[in-house]
Structure 1
């Protein structure tokens, strides 16, 4: 075997993982969070796990593990808290949980025009059913969050988080984007990580 062929074989083995049937390289995107507890925020049940959040202050939840499960729990937490944070807490929530930039600035401008003073109406509160990590690099995570509404309908929220200042922060959608972050779905995919909020 020539040197070039040997180098190519080594590179291919490294790219696909162990050739002898061992565990493939890279983090397990389907590993569920552990030590799951549920705590309400503005009427919505949110997971508190060993992967985060480690701290909640002024409505903002921070301190998530640098792992796929930590990214998923952060995406769920940040998405909900930014959606339902009351008037006295939303500024703290967006400052701690969202990436700075034009999208965050645009979100804050829109939020000033709305008033949220109490918990969400239970009839309209979505219940978390699970998630799927569709992309993960250690610096970025793409998460699909699946929820169910009181009428039995299902939806998926396409969320993105980035590792910034030693924590996962939500990347808010570009204000000029025509993509829809939330879409109706007919059924839950069979490969989601089940993380069901209590009824």
Structure 2
């Protein structure tokens, strides 16, 4: 399946929202150095702990020890300032933005996205749509895993791997930033020429997988 096929089968609300499909990412916790004064480095391969799954608009989302700790009016906030927190935030924000209802999307935008031109353009496009119920089963993505490609205390890049009901798979390239004391999603620049979503045949060997939703 080509990238064009993924675009054709995926609703506008999912592609434009957080860059298409959902998504999940992992980064590892930052720690203090030992008695010798050396700083320990975050391990991007360390997964979040205490993973359980809760549906949002028909899509199972992970809730972990690292967040989200608050869920109000459709917006999920409160993520630990470490790699696992950033990873779960990337997944959570991408999905909620994609499938939030008409009565909730503005709250999701205000609390889960980094302000900027991309957020403004997304909001203008979202006004032209109407989502009143859960995502259709054939379009609802299932999170398979994630891979952190870059991590700092201020900004993290996370590849989120998802699968659709027809068996096709895709990777969503996401970015979260530490803003207002929480991880928020930064949408791609409207003028960017790079694709935020790519079709894939198989998962990379170093992907961090999550237990399957039940």
Calculate the TM-score normalised by the size of structure 2. 0.80
Unaligned regions of 5+ residues in structure 2, if any? 1-37
For residues 31-83 of structure 1, the C-alpha deviation after alignment (integer angstroms, 9 at most, x for no partner) is 01100110000000000000100000010000001111110100000000000
For residues 145-170 of structure 1, the C-alpha deviation after alignment (integer angstroms, 9 at most, x for no partner) is 00011111110000000001110000
Q: CA deviation at 1:24?
A: 8.6
User: Which residue in 1 is equivalent to 2:150?
Assistant: 135
User: Which residue in 1 is equivalent to 2:136?
Assistant: 121
Q: CA deviation at 1:124?
A: 1.6
Q: CA deviation at 1:109?
A: 0.4
Correspondent of 1:110 among 121, 125, 132: 125
Q: CA deviation at 1:176?
A: 1.2
Higher relative contact order (CA 8 A, sep 6+): 2
User: Which residue in 2 is equivalent to 1:163?
Assistant: 178
Q: Distance in 1 between matches of 2:120 and 2:211?
A: 32
Query: Aligned residue pairs: how many?
Result: 178
User: Which residue in 1 is equivalent to 2:103?
Assistant: 88
Calculate the TM-score normalised by the size of structure 1. 0.86
User: Which residue in 2 is equivalent to 1:52?
Assistant: 67
In 2 relative to 1, CA 85–100 (structure 1 residues): closer, same or farther, beyond 3 Å? same
Q: CA deviation at 1:25?
A: 3.5
Larger Cα-atom Rg? 1
Report the RMSD for the aligned CA atoms in angstroms. Answer: 1.5
1:177 aligns with 2:188: no
